[in-house]
């Protein structure tokens, strides 16, 4: 028996009926009307022509750094020239986005009643795009006349990439076959569409004909993920960050470090770790703020150090060496087998030995495997042919017909 029923049974039936009738009366009165009006209230970033909006980007995440999810999609939607608005569920994220992009359209709507208000104001709304599997997605999912499509915010082998939640969407748009295989583990009948990864098109265009060549001035990028919403999803190498950075510096390579925007959301970033990283970066390396475009760092780099995250898929479009931190106490049950195409480490000593063997000694024996896995993770063909933009136009016109 659930808790609510248990508590309810403690109240005698006559009292329950009385409470129910009083609440019903209250909601019909002035107080109830004020409450309903308050719940239905939304806030906009400025004058919006609601009659022109065809699509919504739904940003349900309220964690620190969540505004970066919108950041990675805005240019894609703007270039597609489909009128859209970003609906943001948390006030503090709305304030950040509005300040950072004063010309973009945002609506802040906290609850189900407010979402009803949003839908009623958008007569030509055709589709909602979901950037994550947040619980508040359900408020839009209730509208059966609106197309519901999941686009996420990066392709990765994290456990969240195979959740059963994908069953609720009309379609899931994926970067490549790898995500289809992950989803099918728990949800074999989900409708998917391969659209590539538009955010890395520039990376693919600039690096598709290049190859890693060992030299004395290798540029290394270190891109650790955050600690995850729970310990079960904690893939971060941040506890080893100082040792990893120092190993690269000791060899004499150039190093660029960028922390994940959500770093510290759950556990907080250790001030000692951050101080050590900052002190190391004063001696030849660069530590970038979370606003730095990660593709800018990848384009100029020769080697990548990262964790289980979308960085793996994005980087492998370059087909250059990658070192991935793999926690000993976590087993990734779905997706590609990292050891086949990447250099895997669980300790700082393992990383140091691999770095010397693979890069310093020139024993990069996984080059062909990287080339083979790249297309499986992120379809370069779909990306270069801008299938996401074509799919976006298709879904709007399909709903119209």
Spell out the domain ranges in the chain. 43-200+381-400, 202-377
Does residue 321 have a pLDDT over 70? yes
CB 364 within 8 A of CB 358: yes
Could you give the CA distance from residue 316 to residue 325 in angstroms, rounded to a whole number? 15
Least confident of 92-96, 154-158, 172-176: 154-158
Which pLDDT belongs to residue 349? 95
pLDDT at 145 > cutoff 60: yes
- Check pLDDT > 70 for residue 214: no
What pLDDT does residue 334 have?
Answer: 45
pLDDT reading at 3 higher than 60: no
State residue 38's pLDDT score: 53
Nearest residue to 146 via CA among 165, 173, 174, 171: 171
| Distance in angstroms (rounded) separating the CA atoms of residues 71 and 48 | 20
The confidence score (pLDDT) of residue 11 equals 60
Within this chain, domains 43-200+381-400 and 202-377 share the same CATH topology:
yes
Q: Which of 130-134, 248-252, 284-288 has the lowest mean pLDDT?
A: 284-288
Q: Hunting for tokens 């971060």 — which residue is that?
A: 236
Q: Is the confidence at residue 389, as pLDDT, over 70? A: yes
- The pLDDT value recorded for residue 273 is 67
pLDDT over 60 (residue 156): yes
What is the per-residue pLDDT across 62-112, written as a single tens digit (0 to 9) for each? 887 788 899 999 999 999 999 999 999 999 999 999 999 999 999 999 999
205 or 390, higher pLDDT? 390
pLDDT reading at 312 higher than 70: yes
The mean pLDDT value for 158-163 works out to 71
Of 57-71, 164-178, 282-296, least confident by mean pLDDT is 282-296
> Any bridge partners for residue 80, and if so which?
none
Range among 85-89, 179-183, 282-286 rated most confident: 85-89
Question: What confidence score (pLDDT) does residue 163 get?
Answer: 76
Q: What is the pLDDT of residues 322-376, one digit of tens each?
A: 999 988 776 555 445 788 899 999 999 999 999 999 998 989 999 999 988 999 9
Lowest mean pLDDT among 87-101, 113-127, 146-160: 146-160
pLDDT over 90, % of the chain? 48
Nearest to 175 by CA among 159, 199, 158: 199
Who's near 110: CB < 8 A, 6+ residues apart? 89, 90, 91
* Residue carrying the six token digits 């055709």: 126
CATH architecture of the domain covering 202-377:
3-Layer(aba) Sandwich (3.40)
Q: Token pair for residue 32?
A: 């109830």
pLDDT of residue 370: 92
Is pLDDT of 289 > 80? no
Question: 254-258 and 219-223: which strand pairing?
Answer: parallel
Whether pLDDT at 286 is above 70: yes
DSSP string, 1-44: --HHHHHHTTS-HHHHHHHHHHHHHHHHSHHHHHHHHHHT--EE
Would you report the helix, strand and coil content of the chain in percent, each value rounded to 5?
50, 15, 40
Chain-wide mean pLDDT for the chain?
83
- Residue 1 has a pLDDT of 41
For residue 157 the two structure tokens come to 């082998």
* Distance between CA atoms of residues 69 and 364, nearest Å: 34
d(CA 376, CA 178): 6
Whether pLDDT at 25 is above 60: no
**In this structure, what token pair is assigned to residue 190?**
């989900």
362: exposed, middle or buried (Cβ count in 10 Å: 0-12, 13-18, 19+): exposed
Please spell the DSSP secondary structure of 115-165, one letter per residue.
HHHHHHH-TT--EEEESS--GGGHHHHT-TTSEEEE--S----SGGGG-GG
Mean pLDDT throughout 108-119? 93
Q: Is it the case that residue 378 has pLDDT exceeding 80?
A: yes
Residue 29: pLDDT band (50, 70, 90) is: low
Instruction: Compute and round to an integer the Cα radius of gyration of the chain.
Output: 24
Is the pLDDT at 245 greater than 60, yes or no?
yes
CA distance 375 to 313: 9
State percent of the chain over pLDDT 70.
80
CATH topology for 43-200+381-400 is Rossmann fold (3.40.50)
Residue 398 predicted with pLDDT over 70: no
pLDDT at 62: 84
**Which DSSP symbol is given to 191?**
-
Structure tokens belonging to residue 154: 């990066």
- Secondary structure E strands in 183-321: 192-194, 219-223, 254-258, 286-288, 303-306
Q: Please provide the size of the chain in residues.
A: 401
Q: What is the pLDDT of residue 259?
A: 83
Name the 3-class secondary structure at 297.
Answer: helix
């Amino acid at each position: 028996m659930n808790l609510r029923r248990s508590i309810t049974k403690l109240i005698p039936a006559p009292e329950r009926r009385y409470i129910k009738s009083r609440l019903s009366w209250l909601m019909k009165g002035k107080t109830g009307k004020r409450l309903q009006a308050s719940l239905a209230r939304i806030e906009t970033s400025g004058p919006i022509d609601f009659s022109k909006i065809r699509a919504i980007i739904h940003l349900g995440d309220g964690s620190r750094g969540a505004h970066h999810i919108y950041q990675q999609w805005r240019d894609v939607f703007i270039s597609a020239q489909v009128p859209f608005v970003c609906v943001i569920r948390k006030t503090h994220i709305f304030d950040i986005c509005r300040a950072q992009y004063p010309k973009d359209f945002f609506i802040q709507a906290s609850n189900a009643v407010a979402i009803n208000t949003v839908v009623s104001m958008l007569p030509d709304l055709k589709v909602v795009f979901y950037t994550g599997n947040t619980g508040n997605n359900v408020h839009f999912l209730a509208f059966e006349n609106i197309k519901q499509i999941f686009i996420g915010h990066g392709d990765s082998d994290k456990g969240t990439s195979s959740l059963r939640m994908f069953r609720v969407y009309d379609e899931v748009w994926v970067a490549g076959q790898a995500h289809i295989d992950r989803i099918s583990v728990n949800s074999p009948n989900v409708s998917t569409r391969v659209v590539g990864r538009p955010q890395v098109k520039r990376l693919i265009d600039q690096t598709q004909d290049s190859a890693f060549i060992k030299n004395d001035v290798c540029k290394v990028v270190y891109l650790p993920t955050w600690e995850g919403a729970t310990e079960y999803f904690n893939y971060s190498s941040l506890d080893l960050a100082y040792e990893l950075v120092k190993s690269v510096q000791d060899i004499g390579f150039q190093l660029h470090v960028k922390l994940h925007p959500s770093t510290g959301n759950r556990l907080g970033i250790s001030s000692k770790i951050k101080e050590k990283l900052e002190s190391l970066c004063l001696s030849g390396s660069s530590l970038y703020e979370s606003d730095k475009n990660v593709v800018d760092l990848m384009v100029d780099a020769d080697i990548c150090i990262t964790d289980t995250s979308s960085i793996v898929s994005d980087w492998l479009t370059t087909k250059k060496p990658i070192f991935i931190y793999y926690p000993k106490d976590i087993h990734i049950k779905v997706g590609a087998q990292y050891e086949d195409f990447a250099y895997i480490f669980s300790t700082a000593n393992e990383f140091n030995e691999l770095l010397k063997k693979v890069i310093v000694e020139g024993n990069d024996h996984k080059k062909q495997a990287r080339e083979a896995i790249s297309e499986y993770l992120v379809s370069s063909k779909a990306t270069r042919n801008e299938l996401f933009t074509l799919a976006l136009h298709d879904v709007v016109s399909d709903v119209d017909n």
